[in-house]
A and B are shown apart, each in its own frame.
Chain A
């Protein structure tokens, strides 16, 4: 059978890709998508550990992470819409009014 470390490594790789995306991309929606990738990688790790130890709490926690991701995506997108309405652009570099 596939040893559990493969799943964990895959989760880590996905998480890293999410982090890289979060740092590199300038479109706000792309940033939100990278956050979703990171959350998904964490989900994968949780489920892998849950299967390894034979307990259900890992998957319960995945359930909660899913719910939180949904709530965060909804609010984030609402913010994006409000931002777009004010600035006509989704580039993060343009929203630098708080910069010194």
Chain B
């Protein structure tokens, strides 16, 4: 046991975990800045500009504000669940990054059922919201939590079904293998990404991903106009920060899984010297995730919110049959060729 703890593999593993975890924490903060800037520019105003150059230190200022705010725990709240709910929301969101391959050599662990592991964590994330709403013991959070949990479990179905088309093509559940299977090209320069093979699945997955992370246009649960702040009404400072971090981390997780499944992960043109070739895959991966994140933020600033029954109807009557049809068609095509 001791010789494993001091062996080279273990130390490399620890370094990988620290690097990935640190990067994700920083990006979550950066993401809040990106969101505010992009939303502001879409609405033709500058956004945060005072704190640091281009407002880049704004997340830091927000963090300090959250740390120094007073922690309010309502007396009618269920204390244990109230404190545990943000953690239950946060831990699965961050745990997803344990299986995401950022590059050919930067992946914490490569489970043979990696993709299912990601979906399992998404299922567990529902509890954070449901318990957060319940434990606050007041009507707005409960309503928001119920709606949000129902929405999340409905769209979880189309999320998982839409990737079965990709699995039929790639024949593996491990995320690393999924990326490697998209490394070749057709006609020499068109990369063999799954988005060209499975466009419907791509659309269904992206839309379900928006619904899963409770972002606009599906954010009934935290809608600012209807329910004061939805399920995190009664939360203040650190716990609220954890919920927000969980939401952003979920967003990045969904984007990275979409990149791996449909856009080919870290594949991209390789050039330059040896050390550049080591770093370049990660750069491509981050750029592709950035593409998705940008798309999600644009979506938030442009589209109005769905009503609850429209949302449920869309999930069950449109996306679910669409993903099933996709599976049937894909299996026919795969069986024939």
A–B direct contact (CB < 8 Å): no
Using CB atoms and an 8 Å cutoff, list the residues of chain A in contact with chain B: none
Using CB atoms and an 8 Å cutoff, list the residues of chain B in contact with chain A: none
